[in-house]
Amino acid sequence: MNEEMTRYIAGNLEDFYALLAANLRSTVTNDYIWLDEYPYSNLLYLKNPDTDTIKNILSDQDITAACPTLVFLNTGKDIPALLKKNRFIPVTRWKGMALYTPPSVTSIANCGLHFLEVSSREDMNDWEQVAADVNGFVNDIHTPLPFGKIKKGPGIKFYTGYSNNRPVCCGALFDNGKTAGIYFIGTLNEFRGKGYGTAITKWMLAQTRRYPAVLHASPDGASMYMRMGFAEFCNFDLYSYLPDNE
């Protein structure tokens, strides 16, 4: 079951990056998806995280010269040691998690939020306002966020939570035909600690019949998802390249 669930979790993430690649500047090969448009500038997802793939990447001067951030499923092989030997350093680790059955939504009835699926440019502006604040994205006339383009892709829906008509939390649901993936969960800093992240996650999960639901939790968010009933099955590692002059 663990191996099967790991395939589901990794498959949703790979399909999500493929969706991004279809709408953003990117390079896609049999081995990787390399995104190169803000806010995913220089992010390289490894489809096949094995030592041969890593060696091919390390021998590609175009890749090493660009100093990308690598994202890959930790398969327990010798990849971390090989990366460190070649000046890639660990950045963070995501926990691959899954939920088999819908969570109870009774607890969000009195949370003080109302939720809206993004369906217009104005709605997307509200969503991007929260996402930019939570994730440190720059969102201005010179560096517009691309989520309006991504929204046109198949299987992706964006949601915003409002408190007194102010957008305060956000998330997205990506259905790849096998699992429902949870992405971009975030709450404005001044509204944290009120359970809004949990509320919008539960509300989004109530909008899908596709289970298991999966996500890739940051170290800060994993405990919240475990309280909701998500179980951990695998890890995804992020490594950045350290140039020779640093």
Could you list the beta-strand ranges (E) of 188-230: 213-217
pLDDT surpassing 70 at residue 244: no
Q: Strand 166-175 to strand 180-187: parallel, antiparallel, or no bridges (unpaired)?
A: antiparallel
**Token pair of 165 as six digits:** 């008509």
Phi and psi angles of residue 81, each rounded to the nearest 5 degrees, phi first? -65, -40
Question: If you search the block for the tokens 């398969």, which residue do you land on?
Answer: 75
Question: How high is the pLDDT of residue 39?
Answer: 87
Question: How high is the pLDDT of residue 182?
Answer: 97
Mean pLDDT of the chain: 91
Q: Please indicate, yes or no, if residue 14 is contained in any of the structural domains.
A: yes
Per-residue pLDDT of 27-39, as tens digits, reads: 999 999 999 988 8
Q: Please indicate, yes or no, if residue 130 is contained in any of the structural domains.
A: yes
Residues 14 and 38 in one domain: yes
What's the gap between Cα 57 and its chain centre? 23
Q: Please indicate, yes or no, if residue 73 is contained in any of the structural domains.
A: yes
pLDDT surpassing 90 at residue 231: yes
As a residue count, the chain comes to: 246
Residues 110 and 206 in one domain: yes
Measured CA to CA, the distance from residue 187 to residue 115 in angstroms comes to 13
pLDDT surpassing 90 at residue 122: yes
Question: How high is the pLDDT of residue 67?
Answer: 83
**Token pair of 214 as six digits:** 């999966």
The pTM is what? 0.92
pLDDT surpassing 90 at residue 245: no
Measured CA to CA, the distance from residue 100 to residue 229 in angstroms comes to 9
Q: The domain spanning residue 142 has which CATH number?
A: 3.40.630.30
Contact 46, 32 (CB under 8 A): yes
Q: Please indicate, yes or no, if residue 228 is contained in any of the structural domains.
A: no
Per-residue pLDDT of 6-58, as tens digits, reads: 999 999 999 999 999 999 999 999 999 999 988 888 999 999 888 888 898 88
Q: Please indicate, yes or no, if residue 101 is contained in any of the structural domains.
A: no
Query: 3 CB contacts (<8 Å, ≥6 apart)?
Result: none
Q: Please indicate, yes or no, if residue 217 is contained in any of the structural domains.
A: no
Angle at 95 between CA 210 and CA 226, to 5 degrees: 70
Residues 63 and 117 in one domain: no
Query: 148 CB contacts (<8 Å, ≥6 apart)?
Result: 121, 124
Question: How high is the pLDDT of residue 103?
Answer: 83
Range of 51's domain? 2-96+235-241
Q: Please indicate, yes or no, if residue 246 is contained in any of the structural domains.
A: no
Q: Strand 43-46 to strand 69-73: parallel, antiparallel, or no bridges (unpaired)?
A: parallel
**Token pair of 61 as six digits:** 């001067």
> Higher pLDDT residue, 175 or 103?
175
The total of structural domains in the chain comes to: 2
pLDDT surpassing 80 at residue 118: yes
Question: How high is the pLDDT of residue 112?
Answer: 86
> Which percentage of the chain shows pLDDT scores above 70?
98
SS3 label, residue 205: helix
